[in-house]
Chain A
């Protein structure tokens, strides 16, 4: 069972890194998005600096969502989902492995790159590490809430945009507490720790609920 878990994790990581896997795509989209904001807002550094955590969090959310529809759809299309169904590894374990692989190739790079990209939107230096920390804690929630949407739409052809539409509203709590924790470092209205701890709790709940809900949805697909 453990062997199957690692095999699936390793396969999904390999697929994401190889050509056409889209591993770096989320990061490139994030870069483009964050680059565009200053052009739209104009050269008001104070304004940019004040809203930079919000921009980076929104960018991370959208970048996570764009590739998410392929999470299970690719396996359904080529039939390799049958291997997951026939494995001694429960489907919940398979979802956990796939979600983990998705986070390692999407959420983790986004969180690590965010402080650097923050330079483009005048993110204050003292906010860099809190921002990366909140994204590290919050992006698993995006992945696993999104996994439920991806599992529900796994058999839909051209279901690409449905996942963001389903998932974005559910991401609101993560966004609120993530941004308010990151804002604390640049003189927000609340201290850092309370929203950060709630953010961690949201992520933990999202992993558990997402794993079981996605597996239940996948069992319904024919």
Chain B
């Protein structure tokens, strides 16, 4: 575990970031999903999004990633330099973003080259999620939980300050959940931020929670 945390800690992180959302509203297809969502997140803090199915947790994550237009309100990100918010964000969503015909290592090497700011090598990242033995296997041969772990290993191959995780624990076994919690703690300790939508506990002690309800 220490090895992994050291590995994550070796990814250089800034320490004075500030993400503020003020009365955000989001609409999809002309229908208001949520409104008046406000939060403030600083380096080293985590935000857990809760709410019923369909309340708009995934929509908020897509909105933070810049993939949905902001209907109303403001979203500010300070301390990140000139690069836009989207280039500070790691997104692990429902769809794992892996190509079945490529091996786990090839998928991660591609993500590393694509995202810039390279972190761990793909082999080391797979080692961190306990999949070193599967590096040369095509991802199509892996189980749902293993694919999830490869997708999560992507968080380690490129350094990005904000992790957006949509149901990060789905399909993970107990051991992998602990590993992920360890990775998240290490990321926060280095001044990163996490926004996670989840139904279960994340295992992060002092995480803020934000309840998202349906828009009235």
Is A46 close to B, CB under 8 A? Answer: no
Contact with B116, one of A4, A18, A78 (Cβ below 8 angstroms)? A4
Our count of residue pairs bridging A and B at CB distance below 8 angstroms stands at 79
A77 to B93, CA, bound (A): 12
Any chain B CB within 8 A of the CB of A82? Answer: yes
On chain A, which size bracket covers the interface? 20 to 34
Segment 89-132 of B: residues with Cβ below 8 Å from A: 89-91, 93-102, 106, 109-111, 113-116
Interface-lining segment among B11-19, B59-67, B199-207: B59-67
State how many angstroms separate the Cβ of B148 from the closest Cβ of chain A: 12
Most B-side CB within 10 Å, residue of A4, A7, A82? A82
- How long is the Cα–Cα vector from A20 to B100 in the complex, in angstroms? 10
Most buried by A among B65, B95, B96: B95
A11 touching B116 by the CB < 8 A rule?
no
Q: From residue B103, how far is it (CB to closest CB) to chain A in Å?
A: 10
Residues from chain B with Cβ under 8 Å of A1 in the complex: 116
Q: Is B144 an interface residue (CB 8 A)?
A: no
What sequence of 0s and 1s flags, for each residue 190-208 of chain A, a beta carbon within 8 Å of any chain B beta carbon?
0000000000000000000
**Does B68 touch A at the CB level, under 8 Å?**
yes
- Give every chain A residue within 8 A of B100 (Cβ-Cβ): 78
- The 8 Å CB contact of B115, one of A14, A15, A18, A83, is A83
Query: Are B101 and A21 in contact (CB-based, < 8 A)?
Result: yes
Known: A3-B113, A11-B110. A80 touches B98 (CB 8 A): yes
Q: How far, in angstroms, from A55 to B68 measured CA to CA in the complex?
A: 45
CA A77 – CA B28 in complex, angstroms?
A: 19
Once the chains bind, are A80 and B65 in contact (CB under 8 Å)? no
A19 CB contacts on chain B under 8 angstroms: 101
B78 → A minimal CB distance (Å): 20
Name B93's closest neighbour in chain A (CB-CB). A79
Say if the beta carbon of B86 comes within 8 Å of chain A. Answer: yes
A78 with B95: CB separation less than 8 A: yes
Nearest Cβ on chain B to A1's Cβ, whole angstroms: 8
Of B87, B97, B109, B110, the contact of A82 (CB 8 Å cutoff):
B97
A80/B99 contact (C-beta < 8 A), A14-B106, A88-B116 known: yes
Q: Mark A1-43, 1 if CB is under 8 A from B, else 0.
A: 1011011100100110011110000000000000000000000
- Smallest beta-carbon distance A222→chain B, Å: 6
Contact with B along A65-82 (1 / 0, CB 8 A): 000000000000111101
Chain A residues within an 8 Å CB radius of B110: 7-8, 11, 83
Which residues of the partner chain B approach A15 to less than 8 Å between Cβ atoms? 99, 101-102
Quick check: B66 and A222 within 8 Å, CB to CB? no
Q: Which residue of B lies closest to A14 (CB)?
A: B102
Nearest to A3 among chain B residues (CB) is: B113
**What distance in Å separates the Cβ of B98 from its nearest Cβ neighbour in chain A?**
7
Judge if B83 is at the interface, Cβ distance under 8 Å.
Answer: yes
**Does A84 sit at the interface, judged by CB under 8 A?**
yes
Which residues of the other chain, A, contact B93 by a CB distance below 8 angstroms? 79, 82
Cβ-based interface call for A169 (8 A): no
Contacts of A14 in B (CB 8 A): 101-102, 106
Residues A11 and B87 in contact, CB atoms below 8 Å apart: no
B67 touches A85 (CB 8 A): yes
Interfacial residues, chain A to chain B (CB-CB below 8 A): 1, 3-4, 6-8, 11, 14-15, 18-21, 77-80, 82-89, 222
15 A-B pairs (CB sep. < 8 Å): A4-B113, A4-B116, A7-B114, A8-B110, A8-B114, A11-B99, A11-B102, A11-B106, A15-B102, A80-B97, A80-B98, A83-B110, A87-B114, A88-B115, A222-B62
